[in-house]
Structure 1
Amino acid sequence: MKVRRALGVAMLGCALFGSPLAHAAINASSLGAAYDATKSSINFKVYSSRATRIDLYLYSAATGQQEKASLPMTLGSGGVWSLNVTSTQLASYGITGTVYYGYRAWGPNWPFSPTWTKGSAAGLITDVDANGNRFNPNKLLTDPYALEISHDPTTATMSNGTIYASGSLYRNIDSGSSAPKGIVLQGDTQSIGTKPTRAFKDDIVYEAHVRGLTKNDSSITAAYRGTYKGAGLKAPYLASLGVTAVEFLPVQETQNDTNDADPNSDTGDNYWGYMTLNYFSPDRHYSYDQTAGGPTREFKEMVKAFHDNGIKVYIDVVYNHTGEGGQWNAGDKTTYNIYGMRGLDNPTYYSLTSDYQYPWDNTGVGGNYNTRNTVAQNLIVDSLAYWRDKLGVDGFRYDLASVLGNTCQHGCYNFDKMDSGNALNRIVAELPPRPAGGGSGVEHIAEPWAIGGNSYQVGGFPTGWAEWNGMYRDVIRQHQNKMGQVSVTPGTLASRLAGSSDLYGDDGRKPWHSVDFITAHDGFTLKDLYSCNSKNNSQAWPYGPSDGGEDNNNSWDQGGVASDQRKAARNGMALMLLSGGVPMMVGGDEALRSINCNNNPYNLDSTATWQSWSWGSDQSNFQSFTKGLVAFRKAHPALRPANFYASTDGNGNVMEQLRWFKPDGTVADSTYFNDGNNHALAWRIDGSEFGDSASAIYVAYNGWSGSVNFTLPWPGNGKSWYRVTDTCTWAEGAGQVRTPGAEDFIGGENYVYGVCGRGVLLLIAK
């Protein structure tokens, strides 16, 4: 298939960033800055459909110096401005090492004037015109396609962010010497290793923060802690835990150079990284090697370390808004940050109100990226392909992904998965998802909501997309923690545990399109979910203060009983790892990590948010429990169905792969399923149809506070039931999950097993 783009007709093959694609050329216009094959010149290309003049500014240092040269660019077809600069020219300007660069742009609201000098208002008409243009030549603009940028807008030595602002107070401040510059890379030979081709249904995802993963880890060389290099050194540990995919919070450049680690921290810090400044650049803050090209090489080295351990690498990407942010002051349409895209082509890259004077905001953090615009989509697809092909990434988790389904550029918002021109459908068309059975391809994982309108879309994404199943999270939490307050029927619980066919089966998707999670970076940790009745975000450093955070967490402290809190955490982990979707745990949850009831620590780059690797006995025991259940899941394909639990024999007769039971051993009927007063449920999975080593798997979940007797079903001809684990009191110590061959004999059909209050039982038949 050929896809027509605003920058020309895309052809089969790959123009710049790697291997050929099945659908369309990636970065067909070669935007960005790149050396030619002989390293004798650099081609600079940048897009703007509205600029009337763009000048390239060249520097020999990232900060503290004025430009070595400023050169006008030439407008070609399709809104692409270009300029070729030879190595001889660079030398004549006094640039002999790393080339740093940026752009200055003029347009209808600020036409070029020959009398203009840096810091002057010559030519200014208005900060924003009726068409939404916000050109300001006093602001040096970073290239949206720069493969690395030199530093963040504000740093420890340059903390005055007003230099980047427009408006009457700031428009004439020149940002050139301090602004981030693009870095022209000369290429590298760092391997990314061999990408795993495992089917997504067989993955176990571990969400982590690159810095937080190792910053507290004394086993890592001090200089490597909190870096890509340090993260790569944890690959053997994650492999030993059984993790098959690590999902990193945003690693694309964001403002975090000024993050502090002292009691004077404020809510302005940016630890999580959801304010992207550049979609191609690995964040320099996470790199041990911060020389030009160092972050790129080190990121690839980290990816190789994970690939060498059989682990995929996913990254969290933020294409719904950018780090340029929104208006500084309510009602003020003039004062905005101008770092890059806003100063190059504001209406192309951002979704605006109908009068083009303000951003349209479905994100709550400044305004929507214009995901319905073809050129803005190009940048999304081009950057995704770069991370896939050049940097070795295996999949992507998309923040507030409903914005990618927007069908309107300006003055409105509407999610429509059927719109062939939205970014969602274009992404999966041009970066094909991994086939169901495994092979080459990309995992696309949506956070299927945003703010307002029809943006809550759990189960509503198009084919090719997996989703964070927020309904799974809510149902499991409510069933465990809100008995008597929230009614959850056994039928609703069963739907979530079996893969949520009601959400994904109606459009041809499968159980593995449901990413099952109980906790994520956003909200309580697993321990805090069962130890905190409410958030506590206003506490002192290092656990706070943080603003925001959800008030309705479906959490409960289990009456303050520590052993019950640990049991509840075991239940949550067990239910997730025994469910039909793809499980995702948060880094540190395997060892009962706590943030002391802070449920929104986005701003805390502190010892509290970094993972702890010094464990007490309770934490070590829980880690062993998690590891054992992960191993059990990986050993039993019946828990990782390719299709929803139902099949037919050769004669078209329905064969039940999974059957639900009441505690008395009879089959759960619709009356039982639809009664929210029932809080105990069991299920038996027939392993024979999956080639499973267990002829059957049986799980009993007692949501009541008191013990319940479960009558066991038929284990199979000549088989008996054996206990793998029971989350109740006996599982408090080490060895709570039995290894294959060491399971405890229980009995056969009709054996009565008492499951403690709020407990989970796991048996296999053999």
Structure 2
Amino acid sequence: MFLLPIRKDFSIVEIGSSLLLHDMANKVLRIWRESRDCGLVALDRDWNGEPIVDFPSGWQSDDGAGEFFPLSPTERGSLCGYARQGDLALFLVEPILYPFLLRSGTKAFLAAPFNEWEKARLNDDWLLTPREDGLLGLERPWGEVASLAPFSFKFINGDGAWINPPEDAPNVEESKPGARNFIFRKDRAQRDLLRFSIPSDFASESIDELAERLIPEGWFGVRLESGETRFRLFAPRANEVTVDLSKNLPSFPSETHSLVKDETGAWQVNLPNDLSGWFYSYQVEGSNEEACTDFNQSAEVLDPYALAAVGPAGPGIVLDPSTVESFITEPFVSPSREDLVIVEVHVRDLLAKASLELTPSERLGFSGLSKWISSDDCYLLRLGANAVELQPILEPDAETVDEYFWGYMPVNFFAPASHYSLNPEQASGIREFQEVVSVFHDKGMAVILDLVYNHVGVPNHLARLDKGLYFATDKFGRLTNHSGCGNDLRHTSSAARRLVIDSLKHLVRTFDVDGFRLDLAELLGIDFLREIERELLPIKPNLHLIAEPWSFRGRLPDVIRETSYSLWGDDLREGLLDYARGSGDAASVLRWLQGSFGSSTARPSQTVNYVESHDDYAFIDRLTERSRRNGSNPTELDIRRHRLALAVLLASPGIPMLSAGQDFLRSKKGVRNTYLRGDLNALDYSLLEKSSEHHEYIRDWIALRLSEVGQFLRPAEHPPKSYYQSFMPKGGMSLALIINADKSQGPRRLFFAVNSSPNQEVLFPEAPEGFGDAVLVANSEKVSKQGLQDTFFRKDGCLCLPSVSTAMWAIS
């Protein structure tokens, strides 16, 4: 966005909390570039055709008016929420800006004081309907609407979720941080947004070109050297940067120092004395006359390289990186990728109802987790998985320590969550999380961090440094929203890439973690993902890199198969659900059991196989026969289907992942999105007793997979086709598979059979004993490496498998 200063000689009319410009001549509110040679100007009201006050004289033709073209009603409406089109008032919302709130089929309504705001969604008179151009629109008679002006309005979806206007729309008021409304004025409806041509003398590089060209050099953050404390910040388009400091938090800030800008765009100040433990933040001032800037001198900016923070708004804590490096002398050696069995966990969900004696503060974070992992009552250790994937543990945008959060709205990429720390003012979270990782390693479990780099939460400190440098924008200068969280990292920006890579290196070196799962990695782009891989693997060669391969924009390209990334697999997630319900087909199951997960993988271990994660319903809720997707009281058929699905999951090549509590049938009681529902997400360990047989079944399947018997389920590379021999009876709901059929991996083989038909047993043409001495190691009730009693019926040398059941034999 190319902004110009607004003239100060205007009168002010107050409407609600909005200040509106009012005068006889048109005045400029904002100017921004659409491209090198084309721009947009927002006026204080509809253009009257006269010369525009404050418009740069060099950008106009001689008559001052011939180069301006009003935006079409559709363009204006998509930017400002409304427009006049003849005798109609047109209200528009662009679903692409709200991919989560306005998914396909979701209703949207116009909400304003005259229809009692949230009650609007109860009346279809205010319903926006789909248009051919992809927008949602509502038409009302202009006179009817204009008679009510001026008024505030916004949109609301059918579930009651507010759809906030873009923060940089030219007609927005903000009643409180993050809560925004459009303002409707009848004198700003059709000619207040104008497109114009920029003369070649004023053309400049685009924000995309600028973001690639401005390359950070040297170190950033804080360094303690030679008796000095040195601060360094990258803000190449700022005009002034100051650092606020205080030794004591209650008196923050007690002193302010100016930084000096060098030729690379970095700002630095060297202060005498060791200021370790002091509190600091920045104030960044700029002219807002360059593309996509949003400087606010009064805002406190948390250092993006702060190693610890008191809270999401800051301040940061002065720490030298050398003082927080890992105390580990021998790095943990993680299991190889094909041998991983991951459990996805959330710190507070694990601890909320754990029987271990903990203080209320310990139960909220890192210190309690360390104690629980070390205890004899640790459920994760009993389950037998060899890796945990921790939901985000970096500084989130939660406002209070008691607020439940998942962590997917980070405000800093270096600092452990202050709300998980016992003494955030002393940066205790660093040592506390180091202890968490160390204890997991002592128990033989790898630690994978779920990280969010594709967007940030509130406050958006990076935007205060330089919005366009760190975030993608559209032609109107609005933040794009393919993450569904309000902004998208500009993944082509040199500054953004440097920040992310420095963060990842810090997490490896400081905490000795074993891998990362990158949230909505499609928004980072294949080139950036490759750069991350090149930078990290030399530091820790056995590091596990996992990518969520989609976003609301699309999916990663198939060339991701040429990297070492493993991808979350939605193909198996959705297909296995259908198969377990009795509506899928065995051909897909056969493909998964043979390690074939599509064109985006070159090796079986490039897929993370799962049927439940933190997102969406619990698997038992999706699977259940009960109404309202509430599987908290599952039927016997629900349980059999659940076991069948997890047996297929754990028998398939690739990396299996469970969600904590899935093994004891944890339900979210039919609630789909529980990101604010700590009450539903907390693990109820009493269910371990109630569902002990189910827990033991999953535990023993994990043990079987990781045993010598289960080695054939974990190929590192795709074996030859002769490695498998399959049998698929008619009906399409069952199959049997011989694994290591060609004996290329030794004389032992496995025979796995599955039948998801809800009411029909199936006869396989071969029985496992037809291939050698066969020992049953798993059925639908029990799993044992040592062997189980084989009670399956045979008929004329054929194996009979009951409905909704699985079985595996080891053949020697």
| Equivalent of 1:340 in 461, 467, 471 | 461
Query: What is the alpha-carbon distance in structure 2 between the residues aligned to residue 282 and residue 225 of structure 1?
Result: 16
Does the 8 Å contact 2:723/2:744 carry over to 1?
A: no
What residue number does 2:260 align with? 74
How do residues 527-538 of structure 1 correspond to structure 2 at under 5 angstroms?
527-531=620-624
The one-letter code of the counterpart of 1:465 is: Y
| Equivalent of 1:516 in 600, 605, 609 | 609
Once the two structures are superposed, residues 15-69 of structure 1 have per-residue CA deviations (whole angstroms, 9 ceiling, x without a partner) of: xxxxxxxxxxxx9622011222x6x22111110110011111112233x434221
What residue number does 1:93 align with? none
Moved more, 187-196 or 454-463: 454-463
1:143 aligns with 2:303: yes
What residue number does 1:711 align with? 764
Structure 1 pair 42–561 and aligned structure 2 pair: CA distance change class (3 A): closer
1:285 aligns with 2:419: yes
Cα drift, residue 706 of structure 1: 1.9
Query: What is the alpha-carbon distance in structure 2 between the residues aligned to residue 317 and residue 521 of structure 1?
Result: 14
Does the 8 Å contact 2:345/2:659 carry over to 1?
A: yes
What residue number does 1:30 align with? 219
Listed as ranges, the gaps of 5+ residues in structure 2 are: 1-210
Listed as ranges, the gaps of 5+ residues in structure 1 are: 9-26, 91-96, 110-128, 154-178, 261-268, 325-336, 406-416, 537-555, 648-655, 664-671
Query: What is the alpha-carbon distance in structure 2 between the residues aligned to residue 202 and residue 688 of structure 1?
Result: 22
Does the 8 Å contact 2:221/2:306 carry over to 1?
A: yes
Query: What is the alpha-carbon distance in structure 2 between the residues aligned to residue 687 and residue 461 of structure 1?
Result: 27
What residue number does 1:101 align with? 280
What residue number does 2:650 align with? 577
What residue number does 1:686 align with? 740
How do residues 682-761 of structure 1 correspond to structure 2 at under 5 angstroms?
682-686=736-740, 689=743, 691=745, 695-711=748-764, 713=766, 715=768, 719-727=772-780, 731=781, 736-741=782-787, 744=790, 751-761=797-807
Structure 1 pair 43–433 and aligned structure 2 pair: CA distance change class (3 A): closer
Q: Aligned with 1:362: secondary structure?
A: coil
Does the 8 Å contact 2:326/2:511 carry over to 1?
A: no
Query: What is the alpha-carbon distance in structure 1 between the residues aligned to residue 301 and residue 457 of structure 2?
Result: 13
Cα drift, residue 681 of structure 1: 1.2
Cα drift, residue 530 of structure 1: 2.2
Once the two structures are superposed, residues 244-295 of structure 1 have per-residue CA deviations (whole angstroms, 9 ceiling, x without a partner) of: 11001111100224365xxxxxxxx662111011000110211234342310
Query: What is the alpha-carbon distance in structure 1 between the residues aligned to residue 797 and residue 784 of structure 2?
Result: 20
The one-letter code of the counterpart of 1:529 is: R
Does the 8 Å contact 1:700/1:710 carry over to 2?
A: no
What residue number does 1:467 align with? 567
Q: Aligned with 2:775: secondary structure?
A: strand
Does the 8 Å contact 1:458/1:469 carry over to 2?
A: no
Once the two structures are superposed, residues 345-403 of structure 1 have per-residue CA deviations (whole angstroms, 9 ceiling, x without a partner) of: 11111111124x21011111101111111110001111011101111111111111100
1:590 aligns with 2:663: yes
Structure 1 pair 751–306 and aligned structure 2 pair: CA distance change class (3 A): farther
Structure 1 pair 42–534 and aligned structure 2 pair: CA distance change class (3 A): farther
Aligned-residue CA RMSD (Å): 3.0
Query: What is the alpha-carbon distance in structure 2 between the residues aligned to residue 561 and residue 311 of structure 1?
Result: 31
Structure 1 pair 591–561 and aligned structure 2 pair: CA distance change class (3 A): closer
The one-letter code of the counterpart of 1:754 is: C
Query: What is the alpha-carbon distance in structure 2 between the residues aligned to residue 49 and residue 346 of structure 1?
Result: 12
The one-letter code of the counterpart of 1:147 is: L
Does the 8 Å contact 2:704/2:784 carry over to 1?
A: no
Does the 8 Å contact 1:680/1:702 carry over to 2?
A: yes
How do residues 433-512 of structure 1 correspond to structure 2 at under 5 angstroms?
440-452=541-553, 454-455=554-555, 462-481=562-581, 483=583, 488-505=584-601, 509-512=602-605
Query: What is the alpha-carbon distance in structure 1 between the residues aligned to residue 538 and residue 763 of structure 2?
Result: 42
What residue number does 1:133 align with? 293
Does the 8 Å contact 2:240/2:284 carry over to 1?
A: yes
Taking only the aligned residue pairs, the percentage that are identical comes to 24
| Equivalent of 2:726 in 646, 654, 660 | 660
Query: What is the alpha-carbon distance in structure 1 between the residues aligned to residue 578 and residue 262 of structure 2?
Result: 58
Q: Aligned with 1:389: secondary structure?
A: helix
Q: Aligned with 1:145: secondary structure?
A: coil
Structure 1 pair 430–740 and aligned structure 2 pair: CA distance change class (3 A): same
| Equivalent of 1:307 in 441, 446, 449 | 441
Query: What is the alpha-carbon distance in structure 2 between the residues aligned to residue 371 and residue 751 of structure 1?
Result: 60
The one-letter code of the counterpart of 1:346 is: K
| Equivalent of 1:425 in 517, 530, 536 | 530
Structure 1 pair 219–751 and aligned structure 2 pair: CA distance change class (3 A): farther
Cα drift, residue 214 of structure 1: 1.4
What residue number does 2:270 align with? 84
1:229 aligns with 2:367: yes
What residue number does 2:675 align with? 602
Query: What is the alpha-carbon distance in structure 2 between the residues aligned to residue 290 and residue 136 of structure 1?
Result: 27
Bigger strand fraction: 2
Query: What is the alpha-carbon distance in structure 2 between the residues aligned to residue 565 and residue 533 of structure 1?
Result: 9
Does the 8 Å contact 1:252/1:280 carry over to 2?
A: yes
1:191 aligns with 2:318: no
Structure 1 pair 298–342 and aligned structure 2 pair: CA distance change class (3 A): same
Structure 1 pair 189–106 and aligned structure 2 pair: CA distance change class (3 A): closer
Once the two structures are superposed, residues 471-490 of structure 1 have per-residue CA deviations (whole angstroms, 9 ceiling, x without a partner) of: 1101101112262xxxx443
Query: What is the alpha-carbon distance in structure 2 between the residues aligned to residue 385 and residue 68 of structure 1?
Result: 33
Cα drift, residue 433 of structure 1: 8.4
Cα drift, residue 211 of structure 1: 1.6
Once the two structures are superposed, residues 380-437 of structure 1 have per-residue CA deviations (whole angstroms, 9 ceiling, x without a partner) of: 11101110111111111111110011xxxxxxxxxxx4xxxx3112111111289xxx
Corresponding residue pairs, total? 593
Once the two structures are superposed, residues 43-97 of structure 1 have per-residue CA deviations (whole angstroms, 9 ceiling, x without a partner) of: 11110110011111112233x4342211110112321111111217x6xxxxxx7
Query: What is the alpha-carbon distance in structure 2 between the residues aligned to residue 190 and residue 502 of structure 1?
Result: 39
| Equivalent of 1:212 in 345, 349, 353 | 349
TM-score normalised over the length of structure 1: 0.72
Q: Aligned with 2:681: secondary structure?
A: coil
What residue number does 1:765 align with? 811
